[in-house]
Chain A
């Protein structure tokens, strides 16, 4: 069974800091890995999707890397802003059941002014 772990569980930082959120998974036979953002009381919004053959993806101030052999991914947030405050979820797609995702418990991020 695929286990996904996210560290830290919570993070509180002042505005402007560069952040690293960590995700690890136990089974390296993945199809892709996604990072989602979840705002309180809302659904999930996809931030970045990395295919298993890729090493990283970038979108604006966000950069996600993938090291499949070691079972790790990191989400890097540059120059954090209060609007980045949310829960960030990592999910892996093993591909055995088309599209099925295995989620970590998330990192709750608070960026204060």
Chain B
């Protein structure tokens, strides 16, 4: 049971390049989330997927797209990277059964630098 895994762990991009951050969970969770964490800031929600087949914007969605590929996987894509997207990206998941909310489980993060 690996929990929430993220790839890659580190990435350096040039302005204008594109890339996809991968996230997978093996806990049979329904809901998944992408957050970004900037120095001195709390985590901010980029996009989330309440259940397989649905995605919605969070607080800071501009410049990103997401895909909920199946129940296990939720990817985040930067179509044209900008220096303002330099950050640490965290993926999280939660059971969210509708009757109760478990704690969110977080991946180890992807540290992205855009030059």
Which residues of A line the B interface, CB within 8 A? 4, 31-32, 34, 36, 41-46, 49, 89, 91, 93, 95, 97-106
- Judge if B42 is at the interface, Cβ distance under 8 Å: yes
For B44, B45, B98, B104, the residue with the greatest tally of chain A CB atoms inside 10 Å of its CB is B104
| Given pairs A45-B106, A46-B105, A101-B45, 18 additional interface contacts (CB within 8 A) | A4-B42, A36-B106, A42-B109, A43-B109, A44-B106, A91-B42, A97-B50, A97-B56, A98-B31, A98-B96, A99-B96, A99-B104, A101-B43, A101-B104, A102-B42, A103-B35, A104-B42, A105-B41
> Is the Cβ of B109 less than 8 Å from the Cβ of A106?
no
Q: How far is the CB of A107 from chain B (nearest CB, A)?
A: 11
Which residue of chain A has the shortest Cβ distance to B88 in the bound complex?
Answer: A41
Q: Report which of B40, B42, B56, B96 forms a contact with A103, defined as CB distance below 8 A.
A: B42
Per-position 1/0 for B87-105, Cβ under 8 A of A: 0001010101010010111
